[in-house]
């Protein structure tokens, strides 16, 4: 139902998570996750402001210059996923953030795994209309 779906989304956005009731692979068929040194681990943050606008940053790298993305980047050696997410948001958007919940894990072949977090900023207001130089406060 629509109201049930809305309540489920509201629980996720408030950091309460979601109960897993169905698994598409039986536990007897699943294999344990293996972390490998030759895999790139990426973190990504989804952050909303009070107007329910999503934070996007413009890329500075030449191959995708000025394209808009969610703040994201590689996990550095010795970092936890949460530490990496906080660092990437600080580096790319210029402010502190806190993870709320893990939304999604994506795997692209054996090369990389992306961890997408719902996050929030403890700073009072995130303004729309940020520029290439950084967010307006």
In the predicted structure, residue 38 carries a pLDDT above the cut 50: yes
Domains, the chain, in order of start with CATH, read 37-120 (3.90.79.10)
- Tens-place pLDDT, residues 72-112: 999 998 899 999 999 999 999 999 999 999 999 998 877 88
Q: pTM higher than 0.75 for the full model?
A: no
Can you say how many angstroms the Cα of residue 34 is from the centroid of all Cα atoms in its chain? 21
Residue 134, φ and ψ in degrees, nearest 5? 145, 175
Residue 35 banded pLDDT, cuts 50, 70, 90: low
CA atoms within 13 A on the CB side of 81: 20
């Amino acid at each position: 139902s629509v109201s049930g779906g809305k309540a489920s989304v509201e629980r996720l956005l408030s950091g309460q998570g979601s109960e897993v009731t169905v698994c598409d692979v039986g536990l007897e068929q699943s294999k344990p996750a293996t972390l490998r040194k030759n895999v790139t681990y990426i973190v990504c943050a989804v952050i909303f402001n009070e107007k329910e606008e999503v934070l996007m940053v413009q890329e500075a790298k030449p191959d995708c210059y000025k394209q808009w993305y969610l703040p994201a980047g590689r996990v550095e050696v010795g970092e936890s996923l949460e530490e990496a997410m906080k660092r990437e948001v600080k580096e790319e958007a210029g402010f502190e953030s806190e993870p709320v919940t893990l939304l999604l894990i994506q795997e692209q072949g054996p090369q990389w795994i992306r961890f997408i977090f719902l996050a929030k900023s403890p700073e009072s207001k995130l303004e729309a209309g940020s520029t290439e130089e950084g967010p307006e406060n």
